[in-house]
């Protein structure tokens, strides 16, 4: 089969793009031969790698469409250093996106910039595309963003109509969000209000504490869960202080308002720059494959901060979804302010500090590179791993 091969050196991923759509109801065999070589040493791979997959019995004939956008259509006071993003309802073909198929206009004037498809610089499947202006936009100015008809999904189906939206800039650039200081709560991988329960061999890398609850069940010394840190019993004064600091941090994250960005309810398939993201409803990380990945891109800034606000709603994930960090992003700088409860479904690989008003539940195999910090209710574990980032 003919096609083109590309390589993403950042993510160490190679891609084969067929010239024509694959036949339906057909088994294909892909092979990486022994001729490929290490970039630095020149040593060749010794054994071929081969795998097979089959296409669907029926062809994908559904035309793609844009489901949401950032900044939102009709919004005002957009930061002058904003990024412009369109989110699609399915995986798209990155080769069909250029600065002519995704444009930003100020009146009759084209805005210079670049188009990226996550992960940045690669040709991997994706469901969002971002236009990055070459410089700051003009203040208090109306802009028109357009994704042109003809951009393709992975099956080669074209979008049938242009997707057009407008927004107006404010006078200021988006400032970097300040770090949410957890103070003594940063020492804990788990803090809970009413109870901590582990029904499987969970591994907790960091301290565990409960205040003002009744019991910790299923962790050391009785097991089967293991705590690689200190476990503080109910009503310990150290935990009392940490819970007070958690409340302070929760209120800080909840009350942030400057340079807020409207966040879609489903963050699956997105690549988001640092900032404050606010949802009017619950946030879910949903989808399979690339559609189930949320990428947080620090753009080379190790101090970049993300805050996700769900003032009165929940945080949930689908099984097997993940949060991926790029550009130097760190889990310790990600904060999920959840107005009610959070649930991480089976085998989800999540990152960041979950600051929940009520409970946090992790189903079998879910992992958290961050902290599970519940103010009033329980933290419920089922064979999970939680690794507290360095403060």
Q: Using an 8 Å Cβ cutoff, are 1 and 21 in contact? A: no
Report whether pLDDT(84) > 80.
yes
Report whether pLDDT(357) > 80.
yes
Minimum mean pLDDT among 104-108, 166-170, 172-176: which range?
Answer: 172-176
Report whether pLDDT(354) > 90.
yes
Give the mean pLDDT of 275-290.
87
- DSSP, collapsed to helix, strand or coil, labels residue 320 as coil
Looking at residue 59, its pLDDT comes to 73
Q: What are the tokens at 120? A: 């940045």
Report whether pLDDT(11) > 70.
no
User: Higher pLDDT residue, 239 or 39?
Assistant: 239
Where does the pLDDT of residue 185 fall: very low under 50, low under 70, confident under 90, or very high at 90 and above? Answer: very high
Looking at residue 90, its pLDDT comes to 85
Mean pLDDT of the chain: 89
Give the mean pLDDT of 361-383.
97
Minimum mean pLDDT among 32-36, 203-207, 360-364: which range?
Answer: 32-36
DSSP 178-246: PP---GGGGGEEEEESSEEEE-S--EEESEEEESS-SEEESSTTT-SSEEES-EEPTT-HHHHHHHHHH
Give the mean pLDDT of 166-193.
93
Report whether pLDDT(159) > 70.
yes
Report whether pLDDT(301) > 80.
yes
Residues with Cβ within 8 Å of residue 12, at least 6 apart in sequence: none
Q: What are the tokens at 325? A: 């960090």
pTM over 0.85: no
Q: Using an 8 Å Cβ cutoff, are 309 and 254 in contact? A: yes
Report whether pLDDT(177) > 80.
yes
Where does the pLDDT of residue 123 fall: very low under 50, low under 70, confident under 90, or very high at 90 and above? Answer: very low
The torsion angles phi and psi of 292, rounded to 5 degrees, stand at -100, 15
Q: What percent of the chain has pLDDT over 70?
A: 96
Q: What percent of the chain has pLDDT over 90?
A: 58
Reduce the secondary structure of 84-140 to three states and give it as a string: EEEEEEEEECHHHCCCCCEEEEECCEECCEEEECCCCCCCCCEEEEEEEECCCCCCC
The torsion angles phi and psi of 198, rounded to 5 degrees, stand at -125, 120
Give the mean pLDDT of 11-22.
76
Tell me the pLDDT tens digit for each residue of 95-106.
889 899 999 999
Looking at residue 126, its pLDDT comes to 67
Report whether pLDDT(120) > 60.
no
Tell me the pLDDT tens digit for each residue of 37-67.
877 677 888 889 999 988 777 777 899 999 8
Report whether pLDDT(125) > 60.
no
Looking at residue 314, its pLDDT comes to 95
Q: How many CA atoms within 13 Å lie on the side-chain side of 6?
A: 11
Report whether pLDDT(337) > 90.
yes
Structural element, H or E, at residue 255: helix 237-255
Report whether pLDDT(264) > 60.
yes
- DSSP, collapsed to helix, strand or coil, labels residue 148 as coil
Domains of the chain, first to last? 3-54 (no CATH), 66-169 (2.60.40.3710), 183-387 (no CATH)
Report whether pLDDT(141) > 90.
yes
Looking at residue 122, its pLDDT comes to 45
Give the mean pLDDT of 321-332.
94
- DSSP, collapsed to helix, strand or coil, labels residue 170 as coil
């Amino acid at each position: 089969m003919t096609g083109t091969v590309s390589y993403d050196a950042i993510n160490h991923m190679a891609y084969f793009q067929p010239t024509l759509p694959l036949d339906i109801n057909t088994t294909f065999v892909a092979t990486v031969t022994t001729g490929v070589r290490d970039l630095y040493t020149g040593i060749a791979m010794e054994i071929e790698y081969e795998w097979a997959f089959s296409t669907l019995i029926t062809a994908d004939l559904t035309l793609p469409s844009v489901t949401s956008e950032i900044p939102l259509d009709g919004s005002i006071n957009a930061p002058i250093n904003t990024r412009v993003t369109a989110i699609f309802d399915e995986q798209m073909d990155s080769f069909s996106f250029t600065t002519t198929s995704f444009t930003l206009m100020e009146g009759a004037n084209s805005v210079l910039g670049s188009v990226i498809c996550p992960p940045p610089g690669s040709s991997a499947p994706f469901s969002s595309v971002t236009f990055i202006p070459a410089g700051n936009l003009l203040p208090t100015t109306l802009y028109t963003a357009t994704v042109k008809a003809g951009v393709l999904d992975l099956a080669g189906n074209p979008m049938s109509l242009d997707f057009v939206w407008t927004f107006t800039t404010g006078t200021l650039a988006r400032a970097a969000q300040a770090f949410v200081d957890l103070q003594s709560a940063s020492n804990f991988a788990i803090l809970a209000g009413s109870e901590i329960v582990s029904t499987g061999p969970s591994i907790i890398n960091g301290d565990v504490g409960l205040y003002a609850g009744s019991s910790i069940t299923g962790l050391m010394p009785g097991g089967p869960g293991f705590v690689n840190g200190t476990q503080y019993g109910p009503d310990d004064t150290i935990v009392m202080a940490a819970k007070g600091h958690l409340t302070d941090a929760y209120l800080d994250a909840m009350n942030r308002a400057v340079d807020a960005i409207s966040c879609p309810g489903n963050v699956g398939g997105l690549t988001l720059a640092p900032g404050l993201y606010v949802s009017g409803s619950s946030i879910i990380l949903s989808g399979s494959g690339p559609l189930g990945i949320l990428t947080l891109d620090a753009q080379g800034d190790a101090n970049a901060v993300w805050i996700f606000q769900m003032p009165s709603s929940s945080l949930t994930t689908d099984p097997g979804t993940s949060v991926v960090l790029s550009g130097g992003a760190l889990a310790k700088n990600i904060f999920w302010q959840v107005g009610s409860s959070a649930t991480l479904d089976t085998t989800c690989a999540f990152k960041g500090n979950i600051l929940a008003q009520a409970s946090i539940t992790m189903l079998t195999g879910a992992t958290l590179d961050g902290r599970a910090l519940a103010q009033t209710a329980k933290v419920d574990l089922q064979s999970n791993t939680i690794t507290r980032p360095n403060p």
